[in-house]
Amino acid sequence: MVEQSTLDTVFHALSDPTRRAMLQRLTTGERSIGDLAAPFQMTFANASKHLKTLENAGLIMRRIEGRTHMCRLNAAPLGGAVEWLRHYEAFWNERLDALERELKKDEGKTS
């Protein structure tokens, strides 16, 4: 079972569309903070704040090459979020299956 505070941190990090887009860009490989900030026309400082949130959630790893900060995706914490969501997937599958059964019963009555 995933610790609640870890889930809270991951979901908080994922709650922002800019951070989700940054994560998406990292799926193709390591990038500098400048590269991650460029599509959003934001300052380095603003990009750093977003990346710090992702880093606190464990979703990215950062290494420094001279003056350049390179970021890479660490998808492991997403596994806990997927595990948590899977519970609700089963919940909705059960409900949708029950709805389908009821609809088929109604079809049989009207035929």
What whole-number distance in Å separates Cα of residue 49 and Cα of residue 7? 20
CATH topology for 4-110?
Answer: Arc Repressor Mutant, subunit A (1.10.10)
Model confidence at 106, in pLDDT bands (50, 70, 90)?
Answer: confident
- The band of 73, judged by pLDDT with boundaries at 50, 70 and 90, is very high
The pTM assigned to this predicted structure is 0.77
**Residue 67 pLDDT:** 93
Residue 70: CA count within 13 A, CB half-sphere: 8
Beta bridge partners of 73: 60
